[in-house]
Amino acid sequence: MTETRHQPVAPTRTQRLASGAAIDAHRHDDHQIVYAGRGVLGVTTGAGSWIAPGTRAIWVPAGTTHAHQAHGELDLHLVGLPATENPLGLDEPTVLAVGPLLRELIVTYTRTPDDGRPERARLRAVLLDQLRASPQQPLHLPTPTTPLLRTLCEILRTDPADGRTLAELGREVGASDRTLSRLFKSDLGMTFPQWRTQLRLHRALVLLAQDTPVTAVAHQCGWSSASAFIEVFRRTFGHTPGTHPPRAPRRPG
């Protein structure tokens, strides 16, 4: 990823993005919490991509070059934290679960003027407490570094519904399934089936944000049936795709 901007201070604000809009690669000297109260948010770094519906937020550590992508109309809530303050102890981007209370805290905090009032400080303290208790979610799609895996992964990115086995894909890229399996674990830290499921879930979130019917999403992402897709989605996100995405209430402003 090519760095295009350096913003020393990570802003705390609310921003609306049209579907398909992007914020180009940039970095902050501060940490940042990025949350989509509406739509689906994608964050990309040189190490991979993270995606978050309305039940998830993304932690972006200080100094991380990253870009944002809006899938569906996006209400983007940004919370900046000093680099000296890391309540999560995380040094890489991470997806966090966002329950109803944390959702309201983020939305309210990003829409409250930073006027130094004690009320805002107390709101911030509760927000950080809720963040510390927020479970981390494995919604990272790592980017391969080896040319062989880059070629294979690009085939599946182009068509997530491609159902070929690792051995069949290996014949196309010129490697054995044993070699490829070893590369997935050493380069990406996950197995081939795990990576493909992550890819399909990422694409499913994007399609759902575009109001694609659930049955069509299941087909386009490679699940054998809508029911199989619904079950995987429910286990991962805690709700069915038919109720996706849960939205924070929209307020004036």
Residue 6 has pLDDT above 80, yes or no: no
pLDDT at 157: 93
pLDDT at 4: 60
29/196 Cα distance (integer angstroms): 34
Whether residue 94 is found in the same domain as residue 66: yes
Least confident window among 138-142, 147-151, 156-160, 165-169: 138-142
The amino acid sitting at 92 is: E
Position 44 confidence tier, pLDDT thresholds 50, 70, 90: confident
**Stretch 133-146: mean pLDDT, rounded?**
82
Q: Each residue of 179-205: pLDDT tens digit?
A: 999 999 999 999 999 999 999 999 998
22/79 Cα distance (integer angstroms): 18
Q: Each residue of 226-249: pLDDT tens digit?
A: 999 999 998 887 778 876 554 444
Q: 52 near 8, Cβ under 8 Å?
A: no
pLDDT at 250: 45
Helices 192-209 and 214-221, packing angle to 10 deg: 150
Position 9 confidence tier, pLDDT thresholds 50, 70, 90: low
Residue 171 has pLDDT above 90, yes or no: yes
71/92 Cα distance (integer angstroms): 23
Whether residue 44 is found in the same domain as residue 69: yes
**Full domain range(s) for residue 225:** 142-243
pLDDT: which is higher, 50 or 183? 183
Q: Each residue of 76-109: pLDDT tens digit?
A: 899 998 888 887 888 888 888 888 899 999 999 9
Residue 252 inside a domain? The answer is no
Least confident window among 28-37, 87-96, 150-159, 220-229: 87-96
- Beta-strand ranges (E) seen in the chain are 5-7, 13-17, 22-28, 31-45, 48-52, 56-60, 66-81, 94-97, 136-137, 140-142
Residue 164 has pLDDT above 80, yes or no: yes
Whether residue 120 is found in the same domain as residue 148: no
Instruction: State the chain's mean pLDDT as an integer.
Output: 86
Whether residue 83 is found in the same domain as residue 205: no
Whether residue 148 is found in the same domain as residue 113: no
Whether residue 28 is found in the same domain as residue 133: yes
| DSSP code at position 188 | I
Q: How many domains does the chain have?
A: 2
170/215 Cα distance (integer angstroms): 30
Q: 222 near 163, Cβ under 8 Å?
A: yes
pLDDT at 181: 95
Whether residue 130 is found in the same domain as residue 147: no
- DSSP H stretches of helix in the chain: 100-110, 118-132, 147-158, 166-173, 177-183, 192-209, 214-221, 226-237
Residue 248 inside a domain? The answer is no
Beta strand 94-97 pairing with 136-137: antiparallel
Position 253 confidence tier, pLDDT thresholds 50, 70, 90: very low
Question: Among 163, 244, 160, which Cα is nearest to 205's?
Answer: 244
Q: 12 near 79, Cβ under 8 Å?
A: yes
Whether residue 132 is found in the same domain as residue 155: no
Q: Each residue of 66-77: pLDDT tens digit?
A: 998 888 888 889
Residue 153 inside a domain? The answer is yes
Whether residue 233 is found in the same domain as residue 172: yes
197/202 Cα distance (integer angstroms): 9
Q: What percentage of residues in the chain have a pLDDT greater than 90?
A: 41
